[in-house]
């Protein structure tokens, strides 16, 4: 299973707005992707991680392209 460790780039961490953007994109990808073991297509599950700016998380899935896509979003400041 492909995976990638990334640093959370959003200034507020993986809270409401960044989590919603990530979950929406993950839902569009058509493959299973997780962030620290939780479903990346669920904004509520992403928020339960409590991941803050600068924290390292593990993005994993069954497709390398999907993992790379979600990892790139996690690294961005989506709250800017």
64 belongs to a structural domain = yes
78 belongs to a structural domain = no
Residue 4: give its domain's CATH number: 3.30.1340.10
Q: Is the pLDDT of residue 53 over 90?
A: yes
Q: Is the pLDDT of residue 80 over 80?
A: no
Q: Is the pLDDT of residue 79 over 90?
A: no
49 belongs to a structural domain = yes
Residue-range definition of the domain harbouring residue 27:
1-73
pLDDT in tens, 8-51: 999 999 999 999 999 999 999 999 999 999 999 999 999 999 99
pTM: 0.94
- In sequence order, the 6+-apart residues with CB closer than 8 A to the CB of 70 are 22, 25, 26, 29, 33, 35, 40, 59, 61
Q: How many domains does the chain have?
A: 1
**Contact criterion met (CB below 8 Å) for 70 and 8:** no
A 10 A CB-CB count for 79 gives 16
Kindly state the tokens that stand for 40: 């990346």
Q: Is the pLDDT of residue 65 over 80?
A: yes
CA distances, 28 to each of 31, 33, 56 (Å): 8, 11, 24
- Choose between 80 and 44: higher pLDDT: 44
């Amino acid at each position: 299973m492909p995976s990638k460790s990334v640093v959370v780039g959003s200034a507020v961490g993986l809270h409401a707005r960044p989590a919603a953007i990530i979950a929406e994109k993950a839902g569009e990808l058509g493959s299973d992707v997780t962030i620290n073991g939780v479903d990346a297509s669920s904004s509520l599950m992403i928020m339960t991680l409590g991941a803050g700016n600068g924290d390292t998380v593990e993005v994993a899935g069954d497709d390398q392209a999907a993992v790379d896509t979600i990892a790139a979003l996690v690294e961005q400041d989506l709250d800017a």
